[in-house]
Structure 1
Amino acid sequence: MKNAKSILAVGAIASSLVITGCASTQNAGSNSSTATKVGLGTLAGAVLGAGISKATGGEKTGRDAAIGAAIGAGVGAYMSRQEAQLKQQTAGTGIEVTRDPVTNNINLAIPEAITFDVGRYNIKPHSFGALNQVASTLSQYHQTQVVVNGYASIEGNAHANQILSQNRANAVAQYLVAQGVSQSRISAYGHGATTQFGGSYEPNRRVELTILAPQSVN
């Protein structure tokens, strides 16, 4: 009976936070998909809080789930605002910004044609403006970690492409650091030609930034 009451309490609290989050988001002029993502963060936080409490033998599952729900809602809203700002700043540049509704991680896909010449890892000057805007947002939302992933074409020497992909990831990471993003927040990895898309080589020539959602926000 006690467990049933805890579950009902969790559901009620999580639902109220979802409604509050949706109302706040809609009042801010965002679309329904953003509200949904915030709601999903709330529910995910509630489930996580309850699960941790139960796994550790806690007797206050309802309380812990409510705390988790509040944290999840806060993280969802934090990442939602960052996503919206990044989309606005990169509009028309060819950079694609998406957010995972489950993890809240934000992904920025930056095609080779925007950032590098073929076979090179020197960032093109006309990309500086967009990357400066991205760096500004990353500095503002400083509670996230950033993973820079470099990819290369399957064409040519595999070892050379691996080195190229790592150098491209390093170049973007170093540029962001030069623009004020803390180096301790950034990791860079080259993946060579390990990931292909739609049977085409061209989309694989790119750098991706994954902005990892924090466990909580202050």
Structure 2
Amino acid sequence: MMNAKIMTRVSALAVVGALLAGCATEQGTNTAVGTGVGAGTGAALGAIFGGGKGAAIGAGVGAAVGGVTGYNWQNIKNKLGGATKGTGTQITEQPDGSLKLNIPSSVTFDTNSYAIKPSFAPVLSQVAQTLNQNPEVVAQVVGHTDSTGQPAYNQTLSVNRAQSVAQQLATDGVAPQRLSATGMGANQPIADNNTETGRAQNRRVEIYLRATAQHAQ
């Protein structure tokens, strides 16, 4: 019985590999230089080994491992920059080839809440539209809190907030297998938690966009 399950999973992986080998499409304005296994592989692995929730986790794993470097983010940065203007959102290219949106708590969620604020919805709508227009891009959502309160509570809150964002993107039409949600609690501060200004910076949602396939110009 165990051998049969293993063989089923191996066969499924072979099918996944075959599908991904033929999925490259042409994307004239966003040329990627370099390739990786991609989020599709990660999502498939998650689905095979962990069901629906595993698929979401797997997508993030695949994106982190397989994201390409040298991707041309300029058009996407321009679109998202317009949608996030005035929100305090920072959009930066990362050394691993991803594009990070750092969205402050003043836009995203009320205190102790994981219900998306009305001011956050237009930003997510534009992110979803961008993802739908660029099928080679996947998104990893990471929630963060400040150090106020119990660590276990902060961890749960950060996970719930990340999941709320991913669910909203899915509601806006993004395929769930292209999304992952992770909560870091207060474990990755970017400012001093001993000041109110620092705590406000630490309460944030980050969305990492990663390209996962090579596209010829």
For the aligned pair, the TM-score class normalised by the smaller chain equals 0.5 to 0.7
CA distance in 1, matches of 2:163, 2:191: 26
Determine which of 113, 121, 126 is the counterpart of 1:128. Answer: 121
- Give matches, 1:79-158, under 5 Å: 79-100=73-94, 102-158=95-151
CA distance in 2, matches of 1:145, 1:132: 15
Determine which of 164, 185, 188 is the counterpart of 2:157. Answer: 164
Q: Point out the structure with max Rg over C-alpha.
A: 1
8 Å CA contact 1:95, 1:108 repeated in 2: yes
CA distance in 2, matches of 1:198, 1:157: 19
Q: How many residues align?
A: 152
8 Å CA contact 1:163, 1:192 repeated in 2: yes
TM-score (norm 1): 0.63
CA distance in 1, matches of 2:199, 2:87: 21
* Equivalent residue, structure 2, for 1:202: 200
Please state whether the residue corresponding to 2:142 is helix, strand or coil. strand
- Letter of the 1:150 counterpart: G
CA distance in 2, matches of 1:212, 1:133: 16
Question: Which consecutive residues of structure 1, in runs of 5 or more, have no partner in the other structure?
Answer: 1-24, 26-37, 49-71
Question: Which consecutive residues of structure 2, in runs of 5 or more, have no partner in the other structure?
Answer: 1-28, 37-67, 193-197
Q: Considering only aligned residues, what root-mean-square deviation do their CA atoms show, in Å?
A: 2.6
Q: By how many angstroms is 1:94 displaced?
A: 1.9
* Equivalent residue, structure 2, for 1:76: 71
* Moved >2 Å (runs of 4+): none
Name which structure has the greater RCO, CA cutoff 8 Å, separation 6+.
2
Determine which of 183, 188, 193 is the counterpart of 1:190. Answer: 183
* Equivalent residue, structure 1, for 2:213: 215
8 Å CA contact 1:83, 1:99 repeated in 2: no
8 Å CA contact 1:98, 1:107 repeated in 2: yes
CA distance in 1, matches of 2:188, 2:155: 12
Q: By how many angstroms is 1:181 displaced?
A: 0.8
Please state whether the residue corresponding to 2:135 is helix, strand or coil. coil
Partner deviation per Cα, 1:156-192 (whole Å, 9 max, x = no partner): 1110000000000000000000001110100000100
Identical aligned residues as a percent: 35
TM-score (norm 2): 0.63
